[in-house]
Chains A and B, each alone.
Chain A
Amino acid sequence: MAILPPREDWPFQKIARDEKIWMGIAFCVSIFLFLWMIIWHVYAKQNPSFVTYKTTPEEFYQLTKAFIEKYKVGEENGIPVVKPPPGSDVFMIGMQFRWEPVLILKKGEEYRLHISSLDVVHGISIQPVNMNFMVLPKYDYVLTIRPTSSGEFAVICNEFCGIGHHMMIGKIIVEE
């Protein structure tokens, strides 16, 4: 009884058969889900990266600037457009309230995408593939990505970063 002390022999009461079976099923599902995450790490191709470097906003800004100067191919709405070679280190910086630069990538090729923030916490959300990662100041988060579809992709900020949060949209172009 929920509001009265339990019967005296409660620690020794036998568990009903259906409750026992259910607990068995529930326990197995729990352990399976746990193992599944590990199995997915070993065998599947979508896992959150665990490569992180400490950095500073100044250092990361310089790295991004150098990267832009090296591979710049144009400008769109005031934002530089860069086309790095496949397999290279690619930089994208989030700041209140824009992403820099616009990236042109090649489908099926691998890139080491470095992301960090110049100011507060941001979130990078690539649409419509719907992939989401956090962007923290002072941390260089390295995502090794391989775009498997082509076209224009929006880069949305999905962590509240201030009054202009909704204007923070960038672009990744994936060519065939």
Chain B
Amino acid sequence: MAVAVHDWEKFFRTCDVTGFKVDLRAEKIARLNAVVAVVAFLIAIIAALLLVLTRWQMFHILPVDWYYRVLTLHGLNGLVFWIIFFELAALVFGSTAFLNTRISSPTAGWLGSVLAIIGWLMVNYTIFTGNADVLMTSYAPLKAHPLFYLGMILFAVGALVIVMVFFANLMIWRRENPGQSLPLFVYGLLAAAIIAVVTIASGAIIYIPTLLWSVGIISDIDAAVYRLVWWGLGHPSQQINVSAHVAVWYLLAFLTVGGTSINEKVSRFAFVLYILAINVASAHHLLVDPAVSPVWKVWNTSYVMYLAVFASMIHAFAVPSAIEVAQRRRGYTKGLFEWLKAAPWGNPAFSGLILSMIIFGFIGGITGVVNGMEQTNIIAHNTLSVPGHFKGAVVGGTVLAFMSVTYYLIPLLFRKKIAFYGLAKFVPWLFGIGIAITAVSLYILGAFGIPRRHWDITFSGGPFTFTFNPVVDFFWALFGVGGILAVIGALIWILQVVVSVFFGQPFRGPQDLQIPIAEPPPPSEGEHNGFAAPGTFVLVLLFITAFIIFVALNYGWLAAMWEVK
């Protein structure tokens, strides 16, 4: 068989820190997507500050039309564009550098990036000019300018092209390394990419008819069908994030303390459960909708009998136990928690990793299950408990994990020194604690019945009025303080990234490495039958107790409501 001989080597550099071969063409594409991600994040953060100072009724700074406009900008840039562009960068970089392989098609990589960026610009332009005051969900029959839907479609197609490049990269790797297993990080990215295909397909299925409707070719879009299919994009796209940020957790556990999953079979099984069970999450948003049956609701909202929640709980043990076992091998074996006390807390990627796991599990995870159970959804639906949940899950979990890993990407992907590195150790705490306070306050405000996406809860101009329990004033203030802390943390991080990437000193080699990469721990002394990670075991028991108590409390509150069937 004749094989064309290529001189692939000219496209590579060898990383002087990790020893990986890095395809320079893939690196450029990853850099572009990462930079766009940060710009989208900046838009989302500025919007967040304005929104905090509007909903906190003491300030109430935005007029009504700009409130909904800025909310649309915030939702799409924060929840969709920043995260997906970051993931596209991770997919391109992860499937080449981490596998020592080359990019399958740089042309397709550029094409996908350019399409996604054009889509992103179109969507932002239509929102900013007041042509798409429809919020992130753009529920038909609320109508936006056709360019808004077209922008979303272009973005989705661009993202899909890059996902295909990712799959093709893996095929090259597979051909050149027969019989090898993927590293766990890339395995997690693969799960994310598979979920992304299903998700983005849902997006295309609903945005295309909606585009045709907005230009008058189709006369009508059914509101229930729109909600059903749109949420096939809306919620599962957050499961791309979960899969990707859990992969980042494993990566960070390795980089910061040399921790590796104590049983890769278990970790990989959990990723497979994500792929199998997580795509049905559309139901979470339709629990109190007409038109769908309770059987459909119960099966789908539980991610097929909570198999995806089960998968997350498996990771909740696997990641901290990786840290614990590595630390114990270093000799930190005293008591249950010496391994944790002696951990490298001064490393922002480590503190970020721990905070990300705690906030995701205890706040995002628990509230997510309660909001998403069929009956308790009655007392949570469309209240501030919903943003309370995803502030914990997405912002505290995914965003904080991505921010933390960026401290490694600046030297290793962008080849720059980290600017103002002294500030980095404060960022995870400011952002993490800030967003945790915000999330909890929002959740409590929601429990008092305060609606989300609402400009004025004094109902000025309405025929009647209603005053919420005065206790909420305290939680509004807490929400404001938490929000401002988180915004400050995010702005410092953005400043560091922008200054490093565009104006930073070049990174010349291992001697310039500011953020430490842990040495692998000494090997274990043979297999043993006892507990591998007793400290982690105690922590997960604490988690499950908090979880069950919170579910029970909510069903208790629900039972005090009017009867309904």
Residues of A within 8 A of B310 (CB): 26-27, 30
Contact A125 B298 (CB under 8 A): no
A residues 1-21 near B (Cβ < 8 Å) are 1-7, 10-11, 13-19, 21
Residues of B within 8 A of A15 (CB): 263, 265-266
Binding-face segment, A39-47, A62-70, A85-93: A39-47
B417 contacts the other chain (CB 8 A): no
Residues of A within 8 A of B289 (CB): 134, 136, 141
Contact A120 B531 (CB under 8 A): no
Residues of B within 8 A of A121 (CB): 139, 141-142, 223, 227
* CB-nearest residue of chain B to A40: B375
Contact A136 B291 (CB under 8 A): yes
Residues of A within 8 A of B377 (CB): 48
Contact B463 A137 (CB under 8 A): no
The interface of chain A, by Cβ under 8 A from chain B, is: 1-7, 10-11, 13-19, 21-23, 25-27, 29-31, 33-34, 36-38, 40-41, 44-50, 52, 76-79, 97-98, 110, 119-121, 123, 125-134, 136-141, 143-149, 154, 156-171
Contact B142 A120 (CB under 8 A): yes
Contact A5 B180 (CB under 8 A): yes
Residues of A within 8 A of B373 (CB): 33, 36-37
Contact A47 B291 (CB under 8 A): no
Given contacts A143-B564, A146-B563, A166-B456, contact A79 B463 (CB under 8 A): yes
Q: Cα distance A134–B562 when bound, in Å? A: 17
Residues of B within 8 A of A166 (CB): 64, 454-457, 459-462
Contact A128 B562 (CB under 8 A): no
Residues of B within 8 A of A119 (CB): 141
CB distance from B335 to the nearest CB of A (A): 16
Contact B527 A160 (CB under 8 A): no
Contact A136 B290 (CB under 8 A): yes
Contact A120 B139 (CB under 8 A): yes
Contact A128 B449 (CB under 8 A): yes
Given contacts A17-B529, A48-B297, A143-B564, contact A169 B288 (CB under 8 A): no
Residues of B within 8 A of A134 (CB): 286, 288-290, 381
Q: Which of A137, A158, A163 interacts with B382 by CB under 8 Å?
A: A158
Contact B306 A30 (CB under 8 A): yes
Given contacts A16-B263, A17-B529, A23-B266, contact A158 B185 (CB under 8 A): no
Given contacts A40-B375, A130-B449, A166-B455, contact A30 B548 (CB under 8 A): no
Q: Which of B318, B453, B559 interacts with A160 by CB under 8 Å?
A: B453
Residues of B within 8 A of A110 (CB): 563
* CB-nearest residue of chain A to B248: A2
Q: Cα distance A126–B379 when bound, in Å? A: 10
Binding-face segment, B236-244, B430-438, B465-473: B465-473
- 1/0 contact trace for B222-234 toward A, CB 8 Å? 1110010000000
Q: Which of A2, A34, A79, A168 interacts with B306 by CB under 8 Å?
A: A34
Binding-face segment, B146-154, B396-404, B497-505, B536-544: B536-544
Given contacts A16-B531, A133-B381, contact A161 B466 (CB under 8 A): no
CB distance from B257 to the nearest CB of A (A): 12
CB distance from A15 to the nearest CB of B (A): 5
B331 contacts the other chain (CB 8 A): no
Contact A2 B253 (CB under 8 A): yes
Contact B224 A30 (CB under 8 A): no
B residues 249-278 near A (Cβ < 8 Å) are 250-251, 253-254, 260-266
CB distance from A142 to the nearest CB of B (A): 8
Contact A17 B290 (CB under 8 A): no
Contact A26 B314 (CB under 8 A): yes
Residues of B within 8 A of A125 (CB): 382-383, 449, 451
Q: Cα distance A98–B309 when bound, in Å? A: 40
Contact A130 B561 (CB under 8 A): yes
Contact A139 B224 (CB under 8 A): yes
B530 contacts the other chain (CB 8 A): yes
Contact B307 A30 (CB under 8 A): yes
B294 contacts the other chain (CB 8 A): yes
Given contacts A46-B561, A128-B468, A130-B449, contact A52 B454 (CB under 8 A): no
B212 contacts the other chain (CB 8 A): no
Contact B260 A1 (CB under 8 A): yes
Given contacts A14-B527, A19-B262, A31-B305, contact A144 B565 (CB under 8 A): yes
Q: Which of A18, A37, A145, A160 interacts with B563 by CB under 8 Å?
A: A145
B182 contacts the other chain (CB 8 A): yes
Residues of B within 8 A of A40 (CB): 374-375, 555
CB distance from B86 to the nearest CB of A (A): 18
